[in-house]
Every structure is written in structure tokens, then in C-alpha cells.
Chain A
Amino acid sequence: MEQTVASAETETLRVNSLHAFAYCQRLFYLEEVEELYTQNESVFAGRRLHAELQKLEREDWQEFNLESVALGLRGRVDALRTLEGHLIPYEHKIGRCYRDRQQQPQAWHSDRVQILAYACLLETVLGVTVPEGRIHYHRDNVTVRVPVDEAGRQLVRDTIEQARQLRASLERPPVCRNERLCLNCSLAPVCLPEEARLARDPEHLPLRLFPRDDEREIIHVTAGKALIRRAGEQLRIAIDDEPEQKLPIQQVGQIVIHKFAQITTPAIHLCAYQDVGVHFISSGGRYIGSIDNRKGSIQRRIRQYQALTNPDQCLRLAQLLVNCRGQSQRRLLLRAQRNRQDALPALQEITTQMEQLLDTISHTDSLEALRGIEGHLAALYFSGLPYLIGDQVPEKLHFNGRNRRPPQDRFNALLSFGYGMLLKDVMNAILTVGLEPAFGFYHQPRTQAPPLALDLMEIFRVPLVDMVVIASINRMQWNFDECFEVCRDHVWLSDDGRRKFIQLYEARKGEMWKHPVTNYSLTYRRLLELEVRLLEKEWCGEAGLFGKLILR
């Protein structure tokens, strides 16, 4: 810890980060300290503008990389002109300028800080006096002149000082007051400002800043003899002697390798570089592991350690979790009551008992007590589950209690494979957000599987796996000879069955769900990541939104 603070004091700040600091302190913190960079379209549009300008004025375009340790700044001045013997830095902005009361064009505050910082940097490094800086706003095609005076220089020095203090701090600043800043902010989907405002004020009506769906495809490779390799910016998949399948890398979100398909090192590099998750599932459907390409985001893991070593915090989160799963389990049984008149008394008995158990969750004072309740709830739930299976379903697909490692009947084989896939998706979300999967709050630390992933999985078991399995069995989508392989008391999915399950599971993940608190709908695929981000907020002072995924 001391090391990081010491280096933070001597390291210079980028001028661009001062711009971020003047825009929103939380943005600065997320980028500079937590090292989160996401680019939205305006970021790229800005870069393109610079590339275009560079070509237009090839002759007099020069880039200067400047750094001054005394000032504490470094940066790249992208255009510099000499007018009447004075150096003038130019900055190009793609958007509009700020208009004051008289409709006169002015620089936005953050842009002003940025150009002043460039001027100070030039003055310190080159030993000249810079009389002014100019900002060209391309949307309304005006150039704003920013005079460099003593007040401006002082503003830069003050901003650097404040930014340095913030960089050394472990506290993430609150969301900014001006909500309009968040609308155009590239970090909104990871900062979740509207959700934070909602946590502070339940009356707040959040705008949607979190994307509805993840647009990238999930690629499952179930063929055993497959080769995944890189060709330029594509992934190519060759199976036996068939022609290669081409996958543009920008369209890929995850590669899931079932069995032993080959993936080349260049392909793994490309995936790591483009933030594509690479996951391995065994031929029996067990989650083996993932390529971990997390960079940075150490601060959030430090905060995770701090929060989850606190027993009270762990207990509170675990209560939320057990409640969330138990409620969903109970609701699923309640749904079944509607069309099963014959089993009504039995189901009513189970759901009443479950309700009584759920009421005791908030009074538990230890994780052990909570585990007892959870075990009891699960036993009740699984005893009610057989009533959910229709009369038309053949005996071989019925459910008679949960068993695993290895699953002994077809129903359990489906559940186990589903939970394996779910664990993979939860791990993908945890790695995307940058948390530590091995450090959870409810499951015991052990070598088998990452506890935080197991914790988070609880929320999704009923909606993403149990319901998919039950619905597909009731719809008679399984052929019990072709879809399963039975070897005395082992049952697992055949190649056919595996493909069918993946299809059902992925289709379910694409369905929409309306969040009861934030009131916007999003796909389950996206919800996995949102839930991890909301979990992280629980220990960052913006609690109250985690674990709300309950069936209706």
C-alpha cells in the first residue's frame, strides 16, 4: 500500500486526466486509479477528427510529447502554431462550445482547464511565455480563445494538487450532481450513476444508461476435433475437413471450449486484447477454468477484501442471497399450484413451510445458521419439484431428488450441466468487472470452485437453469436415447443433448427481464454483469440494489 501512494506522488498526471477531473471527479478516479477505460462513440469520433486533421495539415502538424516533473504534468500537444512570435497551443473538439447568457461562444470549464494545462506545460518545458490557447469546436465551427493569465495558471496548479490528492485516496468519489454530464459520459455503464442516485434516493426515477443487451456473440465449440486460430482480425474455426468458419473478432464476446478443441496462442492473445472471455468446460459439463486477462482494477479488489473480511457485511449479503434464491424457489412452486389441482395440498404445505423459513432469515446471526436454513429450503424445494413435471412426461425424465458428481438420472444430468454453464457465465461477469472470484461472502473458501462465483450463482439458478430444464422436459424436447449417455449409475449429455441444452440456455439468457427497482428491462445475459456491478456497490456506500432478481 505504501508503495502505491509513494509512486503516485512523484508520477506526473496526463493533461487529459485533468480534463476528466474538471468534468467529474468520479470519472477521473475510475480512469486514473481504477484504470477503467471504456470508449463510447464520441471518444472514437474525437480520435477520428484528430486523424483527419492530421492529414489535412500534414506539413505543419507536429506532435509534442512533453513532460514536466516540477509541474507534475505530461501530455501531447497536438497542434502548435506560431503567431506573431508567440507559441499558441490548439485543441480540437468534436462537439459544440458553451454559450453564455449573451449567446457568445465560450469554452466549457473542463476544456478550459485542459488548454490552460497545455499552456503551462509548454511554458515550463520550453521556457517561453504562452499568451493564449485556442479551442476549435467543430460542431458549430467556432474557435474560442482562452487567455493565459496568472489566475489561469493558478487554476491549473490547484487542479493538479487536488487531482493528486484524489489519486492517492482509497475513496471513490460520489456521482456528480449534474446528471446531464452522465448522459454523454463514456464510463456511464461501469460507473452506474443513475443506480447510485437511486440507492441514495428511492424516489429518483433512473434513466437507462446501462445497455439493454450485450451485442457480442457467444461461441460454443462442442466439436472435439476443432482448431481455433487467428487470421488477422478474425478467428477461424476448422472442424475436421469442413471449410473454416470465419468470426470477426469485434463480434465475439466469449469463446466456450467444450471438450478438447485446440486454440492457438495467437488466438488467445487476440481474445485477451479484445476482452473476449475464453472458458473451458470438460466433456462431462464441468466448468474447468477461464483465461484471466484482468488488468488493473486493483483498487476495487482491495475494497472487496476490506468489505468481505467484515463478518457483519458478509452476513448481510448472505441473507440477501439466501432470501433471493429461496423466494424464487417458492414462487416457482406457487406457479405450479395453478394447474396442478391434484398436488395442491402437498404443494401448499411445502410453500407455507418455505414462507415460514424465509421469515426467519433476517433474524439469523451467523453464516452457519443461514446455511442450515438454506439447506432446509433447498430440501423443501426439491421435494416440491417433481410436482412441476407434467403427466405426459415419460418416467425416465422424472425427478427424484437432487444428486450429483456424477448425476444419476437424466433430470440431474441436465441440472448439473446447466449449473456448469451458469458458473462459466458468472465467472465471465466477475472477470469483466475485475473482482476476485476466489473471495466470497457466503461459500467457504476451498479449492473446488471460486466462492464468489458460487455465491452469485445462487441468484440465477432458478431463472436460468431450473426453469429451462423443467420447461424443456414438459415440452418433451428431450429424446432419452439420443440426448443422453448412460453408463450404469452415471448419466451425462451426449453431443446432441449438449447442443440442444446450449441452445435452450442461450435463448433463455436472451430473454428480457424488468428490474423491479430500477424499472428498466434488460436481457439476462446483460443482467449477469449488472448484478456483479451492483454487488460491488454494496460495499461502496451505494447499497440496496443487489439480489432483487426474484420471480414474479
Chain B
Amino acid sequence: MGESKNWYLICYDIRDPKRWRQVYKQLEGYGERLQFSIFRCRLTPREREKLRWQLEKVLTEEDDLLIVGLCNQCIERVRACNRSGAWPVSEQNFKIF
């Protein structure tokens, strides 16, 4: 399901609080925050490029951004070297509250 979606780890170092807040808000629209300045997002290529474009408009030369794509095997390894529940994955395309 959702064949073209992949996990990405997105990390940033931003020197200015105003830009930092903008980037933070933007990323919250795409995925969840794992630690300070580290997000994990499950994205299609389209969403990934849209996010890169939106971030590029905000960031300047002195900021750092790292987007790491993770394959399924990477996810298994992430799980293997961490505490249990470090990378929960839901297979469903729906949520009920």
C-alpha cells in the first residue's frame, strides 16, 4: 500500500529563532518530531520535493539541513539498535478517534 512512500529523517541546525520557528511549523505539517530538531516523515517523492522547496524558501546560507532517506531495511536496523518502540509504524491508512 502506498507504494511510493518512504521514511525520511530530517535534521536541521538553524541560527535564527524566526527561521527556526518557520521551519519547525512547516515540518510539523509533514511528520512527527522525534527529538529537538529531528523529525521523521513518511513522504511520497512529490511531498518530499514540495517540502524541500518550502524549506529552501526559508533557509539561508548559514543554516544546515539534512534529509536522510531510509529504506525498509534501514528501518529494521533502526529498530534493532534501539529500545523497543523507537520507530512505531502503522500500516493503516485511517485513524478512528
User: A interface vs B, CB < 8 Å?
Assistant: 39-45, 47-48, 51-52, 55, 211-223, 226, 231-234, 237, 239, 245-251, 499, 502-503, 506-507, 510, 523, 525
Contact = CB atoms under 8 A, between A and B. Distances in A.
Contacts, number: 107
Contacts of A41: 44-46, 48-50
Nearest to A238: B97
A218 B92 CA distance: 10
A510 B94 CA distance: 10
Nearest to A211: B4
Nearest to B46: A41
A523 B46 contact: no
Contacts of B31: 248, 251
Nearest to A40: B46
Contact of B42 (A231, A251, A523): A251
B42 A39 contact: no
Interface in B1-48: 1-5, 25-26, 28-32, 41-42, 44-48
Contact of A219 (B26, B46, B57, B95): B95
Interface of B: 1-5, 25-26, 28-32, 41-42, 44-50, 52-53, 56-57, 60-61, 92-97
Given A55-B61, A249-B29, 7 more contacts: A41-B49, A51-B57, A215-B2, A245-B97, A246-B32, A250-B47, A251-B31
Contacts of B42: 251
Nearest to B21: A232
A47 B28 contact: no
B25 A232 contact: yes
Nearest to A499: B96
Given A51-B57, A250-B47, A237 B97 contact: yes
B28 A506 contact: no
Contacts of B44: 41, 215
A39 B54 CA distance: 14
B56 A525 contact: no
Contacts of B5: 215
A415 B25 CA distance: 42
Contact of A222 (B48, B50, B97): B97
A217 B29 contact: no
A51 B93 CA distance: 33
Nearest to A254: B94
Contacts of A47: 53
Contact of A217 (B26, B57, B93): B93
B29 A233 contact: yes
B37 to A, nearest CB: 16
A213 B1 contact: yes
Given A41-B49, A48-B49, A246-B28, A218 B97 contact: no
Contacts of B26: 233
Contacts of A525: 93
14 contacts: A44-B49, A44-B52, A52-B56, A214-B93, A215-B5, A219-B95, A219-B97, A220-B94, A222-B96, A232-B29, A248-B29, A250-B29, A499-B96, A503-B96
A135 B48 CA distance: 26
A251 B46 contact: no
A220 B95 CA distance: 6
Given A213-B3, A215-B44, A221-B97, A251 B53 contact: no
Contacts of A248: 28-32, 41
Contacts of B49: 41-45, 48
A239 B25 CA distance: 23
B52 to A, nearest CB: 5
A55 B62 CA distance: 12
A245 B32 CA distance: 11
Contacts of B95: 217-220, 247
Contacts of A213: 1-3, 93
A523 B1 contact: yes
Contacts of B47: 250
A169 B85 CA distance: 58
Nearest to A214: B93
Contact of A44 (B3, B30, B50): B50
A214 to B, nearest CB: 8
A506 B97 contact: no
A51 B56 contact: yes
Contacts of B50: 39, 41, 44
Contacts of A48: 49, 52-53, 56
- For the complex of A and B, 8 pairs with smallest distance between CB atoms: A233-B29, A44-B49, A48-B53, A41-B49, A232-B25, A506-B94, A51-B56, A41-B45
B74 to A, nearest CB: 20
A277 to B, nearest CB: 13
Contacts of B94: 217-220, 502, 506
A234 B61 CA distance: 28
Contacts of B97: 219-223, 226, 237, 239, 245
A55 B48 contact: no
A456 to B, nearest CB: 21
A249 B25 CA distance: 11
A72 B2 CA distance: 43
A280 to B, nearest CB: 15
Interface centre among B29, B30, B52, B61 (most CB of A within 10 A): B29
Interface centre among A41, A43, A55 (most CB of B within 10 A): A41
Contacts of A51: 53, 56-57
A233 B56 contact: no
Given A44-B49, A219-B97, A251 B3 contact: no
Interface centre among A43, A214, A248, A525 (most CB of B within 10 A): A248
A51 B60 CA distance: 10
A274 to B, nearest CB: 9
A525 B44 CA distance: 17
Contacts of B29: 232-234, 248-250
Interface centre among B26, B30, B61 (most CB of A within 10 A): B30
